[in-house]
Amino acid sequence: MMEMIHKEINAHKEVVEKTLEHLQSHIYTACIIATETLKNGNKILLFGNGGSAADAQHIAAELSGRYKSERRGLAGIALTTDTSVLTAVGNDFGFDKIYERQVEALARPGDLLIGISTSGHSKNVIRALSLGRNMGCKAIGLSGRDGGMMGEFCDVNLVVPSDDTPRIQEMHIMIGHIICQAIDDLYTVNKE
């Protein structure tokens, strides 16, 4: 078992190093987009499926509640949490529209959409990003593998250089935390 633990930790470290090597400037861009969105009085809407839905909720909680610093609550909303909306839209319009319909209802020009999909091919995520772009929203993608189709609808698509879903998810939450730190820095430096 110790060998397995060592192997998992080393696999994680390898993907962290590749992520830093390939994505640092893109993560910087994502931080700028997120901080500008909130500075301008807009909100951040996050969504994904399965583990990516949990990551969306995690990041939204860091924004609305607190990441590390004492600051005011910020508009971070996970579109993954309202089971009544998810099941009604899924039943009435289809699963592919569960996030698109919420973006239509909640997003406004200048808002930021963060779509999370380890493959980059999740239809419901892509549909929401596409609609958001047409509505005047900014978009950040968190994906992996080859980035999928998401990149076409994002201002920046952070493609984790891995084919291993657990490693991709680990990097997504790390990137989410980096974005949260940039936001904390903005609000604690400016004492807003």
Please tell me the distance from the alpha carbon of residue 188 to that of residue 181, in angstroms, as a whole number.
10
Instruction: Answer yes or no: is 20 within a domain.
Output: no
Residue 8 has pLDDT above 90, yes or no: yes
E-strand ranges in the chain read 44-48, 76-78, 112-116, 138-144, 156-160
pLDDT at site 188? 83
Instruction: Answer yes or no: is 117 within a domain.
Output: yes
pLDDT in tens, 29-55: 999 999 999 999 999 999 999 999 999
pLDDT at site 190? 53
Helix, strand, coil percentages (3-state) for the chain, rounded to 5, are 60, 15, 25
pLDDT at site 189? 62
CB atoms within 10 A of CB 146: 13
* CATH label of the domain that carries residue 143: 3.40.50.10490
Instruction: Answer yes or no: is 1 within a domain.
Output: no
Provide the token pair at 48. 């994904």
Residue 120: domain span = 29-187
Instruction: Answer yes or no: is 169 within a domain.
Output: yes
Question: Do 42 and 75 form a contact (C-beta atoms < 8 A)?
Answer: yes
pLDDT at site 191? 55
pLDDT in tens, 56-109: 999 999 999 999 999 999 999 999 999 999 999 999 999 999 999 999 999 999
pLDDT in tens, 112-123: 999 999 999 999
- Which position has the higher pLDDT, 90 or 190? 90
pLDDT at site 130? 98
Please tell me the distance from the alpha carbon of residue 70 to that of residue 175, in angstroms, as a whole number.
21
pLDDT in tens, 142-186: 999 999 999 999 999 999 999 999 999 999 999 999 999 999 999
Distance of CA 180 to the CA centre of its chain: 11
Instruction: Answer yes or no: is 82 within a domain.
Output: yes
CA torsion sign for 169, 174, 179, 183 is positive
- Count of domains observed in the chain: 1
Instruction: Answer yes or no: is 88 within a domain.
Output: yes
Residue 192 has pLDDT above 60, yes or no: no
